[in-house]
Amino acid sequence: MAAPALARCMARTGVLPLGQAWGRAPRLPPSPLPAQRRAFSNNKVLVELDESAGVATMKFKSPPVNSLSLDFLTEFCISLEKLENDRACRGVILTSAVPKIFSSGLDITEMCGKSTEHYAEFWRAVQEMWLRLYSSNMVTVAAVNGSSPAGGCLIALTCDYRIMAENPKFSIGLNEAQLGIVAPFWFKDTFVNVVGHRVAESSLQLGSLHSAPEAHRIGLVDELVPEEKLKDRATAVMQQWLALPDHARQLTKTMMRKAVLDRLVAHREEDVQNFISFISKESIQKSLRMYMEMLKKKKS
C-alpha cells in the first residue's frame, strides 16, 4: 500500500493496518544463520539490518531538516513495524542521514491552514509513531547527530537510551512554548520519565533548547561523544543491552512504560479532538505563521 493510502487508513482506524502495536509475543533471538546484511528504504527512512548482530539502523532522510510530515510519520511506522516483526532484529539505532539535523520536529506546515480532517489524520499519525516506538519490544537507541527540537526530541526521549554528538551548534529540547503551543500530556509524560518532574517543569515552561553539555547535565541525553565516534558508541551500547535475555528486558520495559502508554490509549480520540480545537484557534495559527516567517527571515 502506498504511503498516502496507508495514511488514510491510519486516519480512519487510528492504527497502521500492518499488525498490532499491543500484546506482541516476546522476541526470540535471531537464528544462527551466516552473517548477513540487508537494507530497505522508502522515501523518508533508510534501514540497514545487520542480521548477525540482530541490529538495524534507521536513518532519517527527509531533507532539508527531517521534519515529521504525515508521509514521514507513515513511512517511519512502516519501517519500524517491519523490523518489529522481523525475528532477526532485536535492536534499532535511530539516527539521521541529514547533516547537522536529527529532526526539526513536527512539520509545521501540516499544522497550518489545513482542514479539520487533515489535522485529525496528522495527529493520529503522530500518536501512532509514539505508541509504536515507546512500546517497541526492540532495544531502541537514539544516536542524536544533530539538532533535535520538539518532536525530534520526543523521538529521542521515546528511545531506551540517548547518545548525542558533542557539537556546540546542536541543541535538543521540547521548545513548543517558544512557538506559542503546548506539548501534549504524553510528550510531557515521556519527558518527565527521562529527566524528572522539576527539570521537565522548568524546561517545558521555558521551551528550552539545551546545548549538548546541558542536555547531558540534566539527564536528557545519557552520554556525549565526539561526532566521529557516535556510530561506534551506539553499536557498543546496543551490544551491552542485547547481552541480556530479551524477555526479562521487555517485561521490565513494559512495566516501566505501561501507565504512560495506557493513558494515551485510553484517551486517544479525546487527544485528537484537543489537538484540533487547539491548533484551529486563530491565535495559534497566527503564532505558527509568525514562527515560520521568523525561520525564513533568519536565513536572509
Residues that bind ligand L4XM7KOE (CB under 6 A): 64-65, 67, 101, 104-109, 147, 149-151, 175-176, 179, 181-182, 184, 274-275, 278-279, 292, 295-296, 299
Q: Considering beta carbons, is residue 20 or 109 the nearer one to ligand L4XM7KOE?
A: 109
- What is the layout of strands, in order, in the sheet containing 139-144? 37-41, 45-50, 55-60, 91-96, 139-144, 161-165, 223-225
| Residue partners of 178: CB distance under 8 A and separation at least 6 | 207, 209
**Nearest distance from C-beta of residue 96 to ligand L4XM7KOE, angstroms:** 11
**Nearest distance from C-beta of residue 290 to ligand L4XM7KOE, angstroms:** 12
Listed residue (9, 66, 78, 10) closest to 41, CA to CA: 78
Q: Considering beta carbons, is residue 236 or 295 the nearer one to ligand L4XM7KOE?
A: 295
Cis? peptide before 184, omega within 30° of 0: no
**Residue 129 CA: distances (Å) to CA of 68, 76, 89, 123, 151:** 10, 7, 19, 10, 11
End-to-end CA distance of the chain: 41
**Nearest distance from C-beta of residue 255 to ligand L4XM7KOE, angstroms:** 28
- Categorise residue 224: left if φ over 0, alpha if ψ from -120 to 50, beta otherwise: beta
Other beta carbons within 10 angstroms of residue 189's beta carbon come to: 20
**Nearest distance from C-beta of residue 124 to ligand L4XM7KOE, angstroms:** 13
Q: Considering beta carbons, is residue 34 or 99 the nearer one to ligand L4XM7KOE?
A: 99
Annotated catalytic residue within 83, 106, 154, 220: 106
Q: Considering beta carbons, is residue 241 or 278 the nearer one to ligand L4XM7KOE?
A: 278
Other beta carbons within 10 angstroms of residue 86's beta carbon come to: 17
* 106 part of the active site: yes
**Nearest distance from C-beta of residue 87 to ligand L4XM7KOE, angstroms:** 34
* 173 part of the active site: no
Q: Considering beta carbons, is residue 84 or 271 the nearer one to ligand L4XM7KOE?
A: 271
Catalytically annotated residues = 106, 151, 175-176
